[in-house]
Amino acid sequence: MKIFFYETVLGKIGIAEEEGKITNLCFESDKKPENAEICETQIIKEAARQLKCYFSGTLREFSLQLNPQGTEFMKKVWGALCRIPYGQTASYKEIAVAVGNKNAMRAVGMANGRNPIPIFIPCHRVIGADGRLVGYSSGLDIKKKLLDLEKSKK
């Protein structure tokens, strides 16, 4: 696995890839992938370019090959997260329904929290049923900044 770090509007962000697919995105406060070699590959450069465009409001959908590691259920949840449109939100219940198990809100929450590629897989777009910002592994302040960014560029 290769990883490279970039300074962004949210602080330092690490983007990791393996075999040409993005596997991780980590914020400064996150645990970094173990045994990753610091190296800026072409796919990481492209991911960083798209991320910069996203932050500037000129990109709403990423076109990267992603390879998050997790269970089949987690992958279903992450796929559903990628279908939440830019600037919009969905509740944990709506995601549970989208993956075919309306009672799996807690499991959806766990999968959301274990998303290894935040932003590219937009787990920040998942909110509580009452519209409150809840649960973001890198902190609610980052979640709020991402949602505010998308609202302001909509």
pLDDT, mean over the chain: 92
Q: How far apart are alpha carbons 150 and 148 in whole angstroms?
A: 5
pTM: 0.93
For 12, phi then psi, to 5°, come to: -75, 130
Strand partners, 5: 14
**Is a pLDDT exceeding 80 seen at residue 48?**
yes
- Domains of the chain, earliest start first: 2-56 (no CATH), 72-153 (1.10.10.10)
**Is a pLDDT exceeding 70 seen at residue 154?**
no
Q: Could you give the residue numbers annotated as active site? A: 123
| pLDDT band (50, 70, 90) for residue 73 | very high
